[in-house]
Structure 1
Amino acid sequence: MLFPAAAAAQGHYNIVYIMTDDHTAQMMSCYDNRFVETPNLDRIAADGVKFVNSYVANSLSGPSRACMLTGKHSHKNGFTNNEHGVFDGSQQTMPKLMQKAGYQTAIIGKWHLVSTPTGFDYYNILPAQGDYYNPNFINMDGTETREKGYVTNIVTDKAIDWMEHKRDKSKPFILFVHHKACHRAWLPELKYLREYEDKTFALPENFYDDYEGRDAAKTAEMQIGKHMDIVYDTKMYTPGSKTFLTDNYLNMIGRLDSRSRAEYDYFYDSLALDFNSRHLTGKALDEFKYQRYMRDYAKVVKSLDDNVGRMLDYLKQSGLLDSTLVVYTSDQGFYMGEHGWFDKRFMYEESLNTPLVMRLPKGFNARGDINEMVQNIDYAPTFLQLAGAPVPADIQGVSLLPLLQGKHPKNWRKSIYYHYYEYPAEHAVKRHYGVRSSDGYKLIHFYNDINKWELYNLNTDPHEMHNIYGQPGTEKITARLMKELVRLQKQYDDQDALKFNAK
């Protein structure tokens, strides 16, 4: 059964799905205005809806993308981790189903699933992580072309060009615009080198977290002070510098032409000279790294926001805006110094959450905040239902169309399930799974080479500093969450996780 708006459209709504990498809600001003202003991203929310309880199923780039494409959790789509994963392109995917529904499908930008894209009428993708400066793109014939410019601008140029010149304008389309931004190592567009340099970002109140009662957090390798590379991450390079990631850094900025490289070096070399003269140690060094991280990340976001504005302007000028669902999200959240960290992976709120805003086409009248719990496995059934296509029974997400119509179904989910697999690997985050309830409780099980449970009451401990698992008075909530965890594992058929519950 189709929803009225979808039925009336008979599959003629277009979809522009814009996804960034590692863009966290803290750095998007419609969610949090402490750090940056993102006026164009905020336009999407102002003209449509903002999901305030939006989550991922696995906080890692490749797996998150696989969940989006299939509408299934990682254990069902087979892409559980970046280290050893190769996406099985022969399986059922949402783009393939959209093709069957008469849609043109295209993806431009970051793919990051190792295998060749399938289910797309057109693709032009970045190899692996891609580069910020003068990036290579993989063409549909397998060749690579080096493009001149800044990657965020180029991805947008290519997306607009496809809509304007390459598609069949008699057919509806779904276009995936996948940016490299805001991925490490946060290399800014040259025109924004000096942006935010006069801003001092406030330290998160738990920047100096000691991880008491959280054994997995103690062994993770993502502390800004201890694990952030002084050259690769903060660009404090001087000739002769040698850190673990120095060569990677030099290769990335080595893609700049001589004139651009001189401009880049002039800016960062002066910072490095000053840094080296100060001989910082301890907390002073930690906080220096934090400020450099925040400034460079914010610069990358500024270019991203510019390009979201360009996309919205094109859609309006071309007459497509009212017939197009515009979705903006990220592949997961990110730590901006909370718990002293950068990166993601953990089921804690900053990386479990992902921003999600949508500008709705005519026929969908919801506006403002949507409070229901949603997850990235929901995008596939949403797009299929909007297209008037059937949603296969094995898709595990649920369509968001009722929410976009302003409805609040009484039987909407009251919890979400999460499972992270990539260990041992970079950042050393232990394998874990868990349940997060709509009433503000979370139960996590770290397993494999560790057997630790964590329980949080987010209503009284929003920063997840106090693991209350096993404490007197928590027996009822623990039993309730354990029951819900098992129910979700059975619902999603995560048999391997079920085996670890009793261990």
Structure 2
Amino acid sequence: MRNSCSTLLLPLAALSIVSCAGQKKEETKRPNIIFMMTDDHTTQAMSCYGGNLIQTPNMDRIANEGIRFDNCYAVNALSGPSRACILTGKFSHENGFTDNASVFDGDQQTFPKLLQQAGYQTAIVGKWHLISEPQGFDHWSILSGQHEQGDYYDPDFWENGQHIVEKGYVTDIITDKAIEFLAHRDKDKPFCMMYHQKAPHRNWMPAPRHLGLFNNTTFPEPANLFDDYEGRGRASREQDMSIEHTLTNDWDLKLMTREEMLKDTTNRLYKVYKRMPEEVQDKWDSVYAQRIAEYRKGNLTGKALISWKYQQYMRDYLATVIAVDENIGRLLSYLEKTGELENTIIVYTSDQGFFLGEHGWFDKRFMYEECQRMPLVIRFGKGVKAGSISSAISMNVDFAPTFLDYASVEIPSDIQGTSLKPILENEGKTPVDWRKAAYYHYYEYPAEHSVKRHYGIRTQDFKLIHFYNDIDEWEMYDLAKDPKEMNNIFGKPEYIEKQEELLLLLRQTQKEYKDTDPDEKEKVLFKGDRRYIDRVPLTKLSGTR
């Protein structure tokens, strides 16, 4: 009877408690996270960053309704290493994945594992490129084949331990899979989905609907397309990533007819061409016939040929970006329709930037602005003021602690990045105690594209780089006066004081991030298709191939 009386006497109080509990539950609801990442997309090809090449309205929407970071940098501008840094919140020398010949140690701590342990439903859809099987995900469907790059047409996937082949265009398929996960997820849990597109990775094969989209468009050339590298060292001169010499006629420029491919079925362009449905092959043949005829009749040489190759490169690269932007729009629309848009942190970035003809190059790897700098735009409803812009120096190792911070998960002490949440919550303003420099270290040499090993720091206005291994050369740039990094000022008398200041800051930064022996060498030995690495001291290594 006492219990019954208590119930009768306190109905309003009980209702009030229930109401408050419900309100508290709503207030403490943890946000969903969608981490959108492309491969080799650069800020020059985003209109929200002022790019004049194409319009990217859906990427721009994320920036306009959230925040744009203008100084976000990769700590190792190469696909696999960048992804490892993002997953772990640690630099390459700490997470063990220094180059694309590495295999990611999936047993180590990653932010998806920590979120999963904290009650998040986790998924990755699209490009993985870390060789080992994903861990920490309730659902995974990753591209396989082509050295884990995947194919643009009818791509292979490794999905929850099963091999499948999907019909269609890769950018559309990855979005279909992302939406399918969202539709069938556990609605009682917050989710974290890594939505990773292959595009615009080499060899830049547009969607069927975009074949020929830019055939009659002439894109503006970068001012330093014909850079002669005066005043700079061997690293710039000895690379193998030039539009003039490195872009291939078949794989990159698609200057092969169907008849020519059929005569050489071992050609890798043919291997991806044959994955297309016949009607797509017919459209492909028609579109590229114009290019092939133009090339063979033109007899172009010198700068004229470089300019022509640049236009073809841009037409294919940018067409693949258009498909990415369309699919981001699809995903945003789905979130809006299902009522999840406002409670979802939406991040758009790329694994690093990319050269679009600057210095005469394509690809990435160098610590120069076009590829070290990453796009980063974030939308989070009322949690981020629309139209915010941040100049704070951020790095891809910051992503993991940011996600953990928003999920109310304790950030492990061994994570080397710093949460961006204080910046997001304060209209992009830089905290007074924020870092002074971004750190960078690139390891993959000798290897494809022949970009020499180097490390350095990038402050708000200066950049200091040390190229090592088979050379010992320094570069320094005054970014306020020389944003295109054309004038190496290292050793110039008028900059000696600033140079000493940067050298000291570099050593302090290396100590902070525990990269205390950066000139240590990796002696690379090849055995079949595997790469074996024996670490040896700097003094014992020279000219290893």
TM range (shorter): over 0.9
Pick one of 472, 487, 490 that aligns with 2:508.
487
Encode CA deviations 1:46-69: one digit per residue, 9 max, x unaligned: 100000111110000000000000
- 1:279-305 Cα offsets, whole Å, 9 max, x none, are 222222111110000111111011111
Q: Which moved more, 1:274-283 or 1:38-47?
A: 274-283
- Does residue 179 of the first structure (1) align with residue 197 of the second (2)? yes
Alpha-carbon contact 2:262-2:270 (below 8 Å) kept? no
Instruction: Please give the secondary structure, in 1, of the residue aligned with 2:142.
Output: strand
Contact 1:422 1:431 in 2 (8 A): yes
Contact kept in structure 2, 1:49 and 1:366, CA below 8 Å: yes
Contact 1:229 1:243 (C-alpha < 8 Å) held by counterparts:
no
Q: What corresponds to 1:170 in structure 2?
A: 188
- Given residue 14 of structure 1, which amino acid in structure 2 is its aligned partner? N
SS in 1 for 2:438: strand
1:99 aligns with 2:116: yes
Residue 38 in 1 paired to residue 56 in 2?
Answer: yes
Aligned pair partner of 1:12 in 7, 12, 30: 30
Q: 2:213 aligns with which of 177, 183, 195?
A: 195
Change (3 A) 1:243 1:499: farther
The answer to whether the Cα contact below 8 Å between 2:43 and 2:51 also exists between their aligned partners in 1 is no
- Do 2:64 and 2:386's aligned partners in 1 also have CA atoms closer than 8 Å? no
Question: What count of residue pairs does the alignment treat as equivalent?
Answer: 494
- 1:111 corresponds to 2:133: no
Could you state the TM-score of these two structures normalised by the residue count of structure 2? 0.88
- Deviation readout 1:395-438 (Å, 9 max, x if unpaired): 00000000110153100111110000000000000000001112
Q: 2:241 aligns with which of 217, 222, 240?
A: 222
1:85 to 102, 123, 148: 102
Q: What is the deviation of 1:10? A: 3.7
For 1:304 and 1:108, the matched residues in 2 are separated by 14
- TM-superposed deviation, 1:201: 1.0
Q: Which stretch has the larger CA shift, 168-177 or 261-270?
A: 261-270
1:11/1:55 CA distance change after superposition, 3 Å: farther
Provide the C-alpha distance between the structure 2 equivalents of 1:36 and 1:240, rounded to a whole number of angstroms: 33
What's the counterpart of residue 315 of structure 1? 335
The answer (yes or no) to whether the contact 1:13–1:361 under 8 Å persists in 2 is: no
Question: What's the CA shift string for 1:175-200, capped at 9, x where partnerless?
Answer: 00000001001100111112122211
The letter of the residue matching 2:236 is A
Question: Which residue of the partner structure matches residue 6 of structure 2?
Answer: none
The Cα of 1:32 is off from its aligned counterpart by 2.2
Q: Which residue of 2 aligns with 1:436?
A: 458
- Give yes or no for the alignment of 1:155 onto 2:174: yes
> Are residues 1:73 and 2:94 paired?
no
2-side partners of 1:244 and 1:204: how far apart?
36
Partner residue of 1:335 out of 347, 355, 368: 355
CA displacement at 1:243 relative to structure 2: 13
Q: Distance in 2 between matches of 1:363 and 1:455?
A: 39
Contact 1:366–1:403, Cα closer than 8 Å, also in 2? no
Q: Which amino acid aligns with 1:427?
A: H
Q: In structure 2, what is the equivalent of residue 416 of structure 1?
A: 438
Mark the CA change 1:366 to 1:47 in structure 2 (over 3 Å): closer, same or farther: closer
- Structure 2 unaligned spans of 5+: 1-23, 522-537, 540-545
Q: Does 1:461 align with 2:482?
A: yes
What amino acid is aligned across from residue 486 of structure 2 in structure 1? M
**Is 1:120 matched up with 2:137?**
yes
Segments of 4+ moved more than 3 angstroms:
6-11, 238-246, 361-367
**Higher RCO by CA contacts (8 Å cutoff, separation 6 or greater):** 1
Task: For residue 274 of structure 1, report the CA deviation from its aligned partner.
Answer: 2.8
2:397 pairs with 359, 371, 377, which one? 377
Q: Do the aligned partners of residues 123 and 452 (structure 1) sit closer, same or farther apart at CA in structure 2, a change above 3 Å counting?
A: same
Question: How many angstroms apart in 2 are the aligned matches of 1:64 and 1:391?
Answer: 20
Cα distance in 1, alignment partners of residues 314 and 520 from structure 2:
41
Q: Distance in 2 between matches of 1:242 and 1:32?
A: 43
Which amino acid is 1:147 matched to?
A: E
Instruction: Give the Å deviation of 1:249.
Output: 1.2
Aligned residues: CA RMSD: 2.1
Contact persistence 1:455–1:468 (CA under 8 A): yes
The partner residue of 1:27 within 26, 45, 48 is 45
Q: CA deviation at 1:495?
A: 2.3
Give distance in 2, aligned partners of 1:495 and 1:242: 54
1:206-245 matched pairs, under 5 angstroms? 206-214=224-232, 215-238=234-257, 239-240=259-260
Q: Could you say what secondary structure the match of 1:35 adopts?
A: coil
Q: Which has the larger radius of gyration?
A: 2
Distance 2:81 2:317 in 1: 23
Q: Counterpart amino acid of 1:311?
A: L
Counterpart-to-counterpart distance in 2, 1:119 and 1:358: 23
In structure 1, runs of 5+ residues without a counterpart are: 1-5
Shift of 1:119: 0.7
Q: Is the 8 A contact 1:86 1:115 kept in 2?
A: yes
Is this contact kept in 2: 1:101–1:389, CA < 8 A? yes
Q: TM-score scaled by structure 1? A: 0.95
Q: Helix, strand or coil for the counterpart of 2:381? A: coil
| Cα drift, residue 364 of structure 1 | 3.6
Correspondence for 2:163: 144
> For residue 407 of structure 2, what is the aligned residue in structure 1?
387
Whether contact under 8 Å (1:486, 1:498) holds in the other structure is no
SS in 1 for 2:347: strand
- Partners in 2 of 1:424 and 1:98 — Cα distance? 37
Give me the whole-angstrom Cα distance separating, in 2, the residues matched to 1:246 and 1:342. Answer: 25
Equivalent residue of 1:208, what SS?
coil
Which letter maps to 2:61?
Answer: R
Cα distance in 2 for partners of 1:211, 1:264 equals: 37
Change (3 A) 1:391 1:219: same
Q: CA deviation at 1:44?
A: 0.4
Residues 16-54 of structure 1: CA distance to partner in whole angstroms, max 9, x if unpaired? Answer: 000000000000000023110001110001100000111
**Which residue in the other structure is 1:3 paired with?**
none
2:116 maps to a residue whose letter is: Q
* SS of the residue 2:450 aligns to: coil
Q: Secondary structure at the match of 1:497?
A: coil
- Which of 155-164 and 238-247 deviates more? 238-247
Q: Which residue of 2 aligns with 1:361?
A: 381
Cα drift, residue 241 of structure 1: 7.2
Letter in 2 for 1:108: V
- Aligned to 2:48, the other structure's residue is in SS state coil
CA distance in 2, matches of 1:13, 1:237: 49
